[in-house]
Amino acid sequence: MTIPENNNFHFRKGTLADAELLADLGWRTFEETFAAFNRPEDMAAFKPTMYTPELQTEELCDSDTEFVIAEVQEQAVAYVKLNTAEAPEAITGRNPLQISRLYLLQKWTGRGLGDKLMQLCLEKARRNGHDVVWLTVWEHNERAKRFYRKYGFKEAGELTFILGSDVQRDLYMQREV
């Protein structure tokens, strides 16, 4: 695909018809981001626990969840998953919104698309009366941490993330709306 000069992104809400697309895009972006840092067997074990059309259908049916898909020339290049379910204790706020996943295909990073998606999340949070936005990030995902800090997210604790047989440390981050 040719990359348009003006980065002409189109954003749309994910629907049940996107289960397969989200399983595929979800896995491709996850693999591009983390395969270099993990054992292939741990990556392979993780995939069916999250990135299958069946599991994406379940997530799309969840009334607390909303997906936004970014497209360029009708091709999906990134997505965000937002969640309004109850937050863990580490997160303060009466009505928090979770950015549960924010993933760009690698070739679309560093072009302002992350900014556009983050602004969209913050705008939704404002419009829907959320007082806090929160997320989790792998402790060694330096690019993402820098990106979140740019938007004023601050560390708010830690949690364990299991990738296959590997026990990893993730961070909670949050910011006020």
Residues forming the site for ligand COA (CB under 6 A): 7, 29, 33, 102-104, 109-115, 137, 141, 143-144, 147, 150
**Residue 115 vs 176, nearer CB to ligand COA:** 115
Q: Measured from the CB of residue 122, what is the shortest distance to ligand COA in angstroms?
A: 14
Q: Measured from the CB of residue 81, what is the shortest distance to ligand COA in angstroms?
A: 11
**Residue 115 vs 123, nearer CB to ligand COA:** 115
**Residue 33 vs 83, nearer CB to ligand COA:** 33
- Token pair in block for residue 35: 């395969």
What is the DSSP annotation of 90-119? T---SSEEEEEEEEE-GGGTTSSHHHHHHH
Q: What is the number of other CB atoms lying within 10 angstroms of the CB of residue 113?
A: 18
Q: What is the number of other CB atoms lying within 10 angstroms of the CB of residue 134?
A: 23
Q: Measured from the CB of residue 57, what is the shortest distance to ligand COA in angstroms?
A: 22
**Residue 37 vs 45, nearer CB to ligand COA:** 37
Strands (E), the chain: 10-13, 65-72, 75-83, 96-104, 132-138, 154-163, 166-176
Residue nearest to ligand COA (CB): 114
Q: Measured from the CB of residue 12, what is the shortest distance to ligand COA in angstroms?
A: 18
Q: b/e string for 37-47 if b means 16 or more Cβ within 10 A?
A: ebeeebbeebe
